[in-house]
Structure 1
Amino acid sequence: MSPRGTRARRANGKKHAIWLAAGVVVLGATGVTAVAASAGGEDAGPGDGTQPAKAHVLALDGKDPKKRALPRTGTQSFSLIGVSWEDSGDTFEGTAQIRTRKAATGEWSEWRDLDFDVRAPESAEGEESDVRGASEPLWVGPSDGVEARVVADGEETAVPDALRLDMIDPGETVKGKGKSNGGGKGSGKVTASPDATQTTPAGPAPEPSDPVPTEEPTGSAGVPQDPAPSTTPTESTPGTDPTEGPTDEPTGAPTDGPTDGPSTEPPTSEAPTDPTPSTVPTEEPTSPAPTTEPSGTPEPSSTPEPSGTPEPSTTAPTAPTAPAIVSRAGWGADESLVQDPPSYLNKVDAVFVHHTAGTNDYACADSPAIIRAILTYHVRTNGWNDIGYNFFVDKCGTVFEGRAGGVDRPVLGAHTYGFNSYSSGISLLGNYESGGTPTAAAKQAIADLAAWKLGLHGVDPEAKVTLTAAADTGVWTKGQAATLNTISGHRDGYATLCPGATLYSELPGIRTAAGSSPYATGN
């Protein structure tokens, strides 16, 4: 366990809801306190019959400073679980294992380890007073019981303060709505970034009409592989139907992030006053030709506010057609969870590939429920403003919008500690460290998505880029110049096993596929 020094917290008046509801129950003789937590409260859900995600908490109390244990205990329904503690500055040094009981059969699982690769973002978002340390969340499917054991075995042999189990029920959404090819908040179209130098496509790419396959896909683009995904997830088991959730926009205007070039801190700058900009900016800011080698000290800049009718441009290149992307509304994001508007980078210099860990034993129809649960975990457990990853891909090759703000815009995420201020994060659902193998459809989807995202900023997906680390990551020290591939694995920037050995070994091929992707600039 790392030393428990006090951390300077940034008090900015952020209006977070109080998540923990009244009702504390001591489970007899176990030293464990059960605390009910509501994910949505009275204001959650759009009032259309949906069931918002819910968070349940079991506080792991005890007298032994080195370990905590929870005997087999019945719980409210949940499908995703993790452990968390009070101070995100404490790095957990030990093991945490859980067993869960299947709601349908009453069968108990084997012991499973939780991973500890999560760091709060190095931006102001990670300094909020309610940010907690936490494990990676583990998807276990519909469950109604848990057993846990946590042991500290590091230099500081004590479990963290305020240790607890966090269990998430992903809820349900209305079926058959919300698929789109673009814009944030499920707008159904790709929205233009006010600071982009490209114009937007004439319209969204056609959406496949076939249902999402749940078996191993077959080939496309002349290479044997999994079938092309659909943007409409198939019917799932009860409680995990992929569908539309609330689409309320967070109030306030987005703020821009850093300008081109490396920076040791993710800066902010002026934001457009309209959080939902026009599809074409009225001004075309000029800038030097894009490069994958940012250098120098970035200067703050503001972005023009879109208004009125844009003047025709003959010099701005046309943005590549976007791949099919399931919007936040499509997977049922509860927008009432998101309290602050998104922040933006000036440019995406790199894409980091992740995995969600957890399990590979999921149906593709369950993907929306998994992402809803991760959103709730990242906000309610980690204390972040929104889901951390910019995009998700499942094993059927379906792409999902992650953090809100517009899929074609450089949204600041919380995925790669030390390099969030330069990059976009793509996370593949599943575990690729413990025997999982990424499907051909998933690899192609990652390649196409990365090629398109980098192409919006004139970045070659097969090139290298030098970025300045904004924090000590275990791989790079703060201020160090890091030379990375423009498509890199999480472990290239931060000391972690993510995205898993098998997915990491596929990255060279993914870069090659991205370079020849129809979504790459110039193809």
Structure 2
Amino acid sequence: MHIFPQGLRGRPAVVPRVVLPVVLLAVCTVVLPLSPAAAGSGPSSADPAPRAGLRTSAGGGSVASLPLGGPHRSAAGRALAPRTTARFELIGVTWDGPADALADGTVRVRTRDAATGAWRDWQRLDADGEDGPDTPAAAGARRAGTAPLWTGPSDGVAVEVTAGPAGPPRGLRVELVDPGRGAESPAARTRPAEPAGGGRRSGQQAPRPEIVTRAGWGADESIRESDFVYTGQVRAVFVHHTATATAYECADAPRVIRAIYQYHVQSNGWRDIGYNFLVDRCGTVYEGRAGGTDLPVHGAHTLGFNTNTAGVAAIGTYVKDVPPPELLTGLARISAWKLGLTGRDADGRVDLVSGSSASRYPAGTTVSFDAVSGHRDGFNTECPGAALYPELPGIRTEAARLQGRADTVATP
């Protein structure tokens, strides 16, 4: 999943700021016009937008939907003129129709910093659907969308969509997500770690790491589907990065998780957050999709290979940023424990069957994977990033060591 970084509260960025280039397609090279007010010195803040399509969640969270169309539409695409909005911290664009409807187009957004009032640079959103359920959506049940962008506290937005050869899809909307303070719950906020060697049923079972529960990160359980869907035994773990800012305070990780959760559920129409687990830069492990951390909950993280797998997302962008050792340890610990529950060697290989031709492999194809693989192994994406992907062999080795069977060979 790609959520490009922008302005997250916390320590200064550890890498130089990167300005993403704007790509103009040969089939559509006209930049869509903004409002006349935007044609002067800069974006105008005098055009407040109503919170159309507002969906709320407990703890002050919300998702506001604004249509892309009206007077700023053309055969080339859609635009939303710069305007003031209520506060949000994550943004994405959704539409009706197939997930790849904008694969040959571009989506750019510009947001205003709520603290300083300054407009940030234009940022491009990834329009290719990488994550999501493998099965086709029921009519009206789900919407396709870009990867979301974490902006940090913002109160203004402008959008430009340049369509591909097929033209803009129907129902284009920009989604503005405010994670709020989180829902309060009497449930336990953490599931404690097992002591080293504790709870093992065999030499393959690694101790469970401490896991922050959904109550711990403030999930509003009323917005997700009430029932759970389970897959067969978890045979592999796919590692992702959320591509949010890397230099964040770990205390802010729950806000990022809540925003992703709300976008997946209230904007995309998924039954729950797509990932089974998330890990922050301090190595803290968070419960993702509901249904039981020790059960094979069916996720929506690696299109085509959501069956018999678990998705674990590293919170941050690890294209150029070096993943901290604590993060790598957290990824190894949750992978070792999750695979060990069913006796799977974290350093072994498994065969999986593609469930979608939109993945790297046609539906029905049997593919051999490492038990701990990267998202790019199953889908044409850079995820989990050029800096994190080479760390996977070390994660596998450490996970196998935690299982107490680093020198054994997995059964097929």
TM-score (normalised: structure 1)? 0.63
Name the structure 2 match of 1:355.
Answer: 241
1:522 Cα offset (Å): 10
Q: 102-111 or 72-81, which moves further after superposition? A: 102-111
Q: Secondary structure at the match of 1:376?
A: helix
Counterpart check, 1:73 vs 2:89:
no
The alignment-based identity, stated in percent, is: 43
1:164 Cα offset (Å): 1.2
Equivalent-residue separation in structure 2 for 1:175 and 1:99 (angstroms): 33
Task: Identify the match of residue 53 of structure 2 among 37, 59, 62.
Answer: 37
* Counterpart amino acid of residue 122 in structure 2: W
Could you list the runs of 5+ residues in structure 1 that have no partner in the other structure? 1-26, 46-50, 183-188, 190-203, 207-314
Equivalent-residue separation in structure 2 for 1:375 and 1:440 (angstroms): 26
Name the structure 1 match of 2:180.
Answer: 171
* Counterpart amino acid of residue 75 in structure 2: P
Counterpart check, 1:401 vs 2:287:
yes
Alpha-carbon distance change, 316 to 501 in structure 1, aligned in 2, over 3 angstroms:
closer
Equivalent-residue separation in structure 2 for 1:519 and 1:57 (angstroms): 50
Alpha-carbon distance change, 459 to 358 in structure 1, aligned in 2, over 3 angstroms:
same
Counterpart check, 1:83 vs 2:72:
no
* Counterpart amino acid of residue 325 in structure 1: I
Task: Identify the match of residue 465 of structure 1 among 327, 350, 353.
Answer: 350
Name the structure 1 match of 2:297.
Answer: 411
Checking the alignment, whether the CA contact within 8 Å between 2:177 and 2:259 is kept in structure 1 is yes
Equivalent-residue separation in structure 2 for 1:508 and 1:521 (angstroms): 12
Equivalent-residue separation in structure 1 for 2:222 and 2:400 (angstroms): 38
Equivalent-residue separation in structure 2 for 1:147 and 1:361 (angstroms): 26
Alpha-carbon distance change, 507 to 317 in structure 1, aligned in 2, over 3 angstroms:
closer
Checking the alignment, whether the CA contact within 8 Å between 2:336 and 2:346 is kept in structure 1 is yes
Q: Secondary structure at the match of 1:502?
A: coil
- How well do the aligned residues superpose, as a CA RMSD in angstroms? 2.9
CA-to-aligned-CA distance 1:312-360 (integer Å, 9 cap, x gap): xxx9889543101000000000000012311112200100011112322
Equivalent-residue separation in structure 1 for 2:394 and 2:128 (angstroms): 25
Name the structure 1 match of 2:360.
Answer: 475
CA-to-aligned-CA distance 1:99-158 (integer Å, 9 cap, x gap): 21111111221221212343531136x445221110111111111011221112x342x1
* Counterpart amino acid of residue 59 in structure 1: P
Counterpart check, 1:135 vs 2:143:
no
Alpha-carbon distance change, 476 to 173 in structure 1, aligned in 2, over 3 angstroms:
closer
1:357-376 equivalences in 2 (<5 Å): 357-376=243-262
1:423-434 equivalences in 2 (<5 Å): 423-433=309-319
Alpha-carbon distance change, 358 to 68 in structure 1, aligned in 2, over 3 angstroms:
farther
Name the structure 2 match of 1:489.
Answer: 374
Checking the alignment, whether the CA contact within 8 Å between 2:232 and 2:307 is kept in structure 1 is no
* Counterpart amino acid of residue 164 in structure 1: R
1:60 Cα offset (Å): 0.7
* Counterpart amino acid of residue 160 in structure 1: P
Task: Identify the match of residue 98 of structure 1 among 76, 100, 109.
Answer: 109
Could you list the runs of 5+ residues in structure 2 that have no partner in the other structure? 1-34, 39-46, 196-200
* Counterpart amino acid of residue 194 in structure 2: A
Q: Secondary structure at the match of 2:86?
A: strand
Alpha-carbon distance change, 420 to 175 in structure 1, aligned in 2, over 3 angstroms:
closer
CA-to-aligned-CA distance 1:357-397 (integer Å, 9 cap, x gap): 23224321110011111111001111001111000111111
Equivalent-residue separation in structure 2 for 1:361 and 1:37 (angstroms): 33
Name the structure 2 match of 1:159.
Answer: 168
Alpha-carbon distance change, 323 to 439 in structure 1, aligned in 2, over 3 angstroms:
same
CA-to-aligned-CA distance 1:28-74 (integer Å, 9 cap, x gap): 9999985523333xxx53xxxxx231001121104312122223211
Equivalent-residue separation in structure 2 for 1:90 and 1:33 (angstroms): 29
Equivalent-residue separation in structure 1 for 2:222 and 2:98 (angstroms): 24
Q: 164-173 or 508-517, which moves further after superposition? A: 508-517
Equivalent-residue separation in structure 2 for 1:34 and 1:134 (angstroms): 22
Q: Secondary structure at the match of 1:81?
A: strand
Alpha-carbon distance change, 318 to 460 in structure 1, aligned in 2, over 3 angstroms:
closer
Counterpart check, 1:421 vs 2:410:
no
Alpha-carbon distance change, 372 to 346 in structure 1, aligned in 2, over 3 angstroms:
same
Task: Identify the match of residue 65 of structure 2 among 57, 61, 66.
Answer: 57
Alpha-carbon distance change, 338 to 355 in structure 1, aligned in 2, over 3 angstroms:
same
Alpha-carbon distance change, 63 to 150 in structure 1, aligned in 2, over 3 angstroms:
closer
Alpha-carbon distance change, 494 to 65 in structure 1, aligned in 2, over 3 angstroms:
same
Name the structure 2 match of 1:112.
Answer: 123
Equivalent-residue separation in structure 1 for 2:374 and 2:202 (angstroms): 32
Equivalent-residue separation in structure 2 for 1:34 and 1:491 (angstroms): 39
Alpha-carbon distance change, 115 to 178 in structure 1, aligned in 2, over 3 angstroms:
farther
* Counterpart amino acid of residue 406 in structure 1: G
Alpha-carbon distance change, 102 to 111 in structure 1, aligned in 2, over 3 angstroms:
same
Name the structure 1 match of 2:18.
Answer: none
1:69-468 equivalences in 2 (<5 Å): 69-92=79-102, 93-118=104-129, 119-123=131-135, 126-127=137-138, 129-152=140-163, 154-156=164-166, 158-173=167-182, 180-182=189-191, 205=194, 320-433=206-319, 435-468=320-353
Counterpart check, 1:512 vs 2:379:
no
Equivalent-residue separation in structure 2 for 1:174 and 1:120 (angstroms): 25
- Which structure would you say has the larger Rg? 1
Checking the alignment, whether the CA contact within 8 Å between 1:448 and 1:520 is kept in structure 2 is no
1:500 Cα offset (Å): 1.5
Alpha-carbon distance change, 79 to 413 in structure 1, aligned in 2, over 3 angstroms:
same
Checking the alignment, whether the CA contact within 8 Å between 1:418 and 1:493 is kept in structure 2 is yes
1:454 Cα offset (Å): 0.4
Task: Identify the match of residue 503 of structure 1 among 378, 388, 394.
Answer: 388
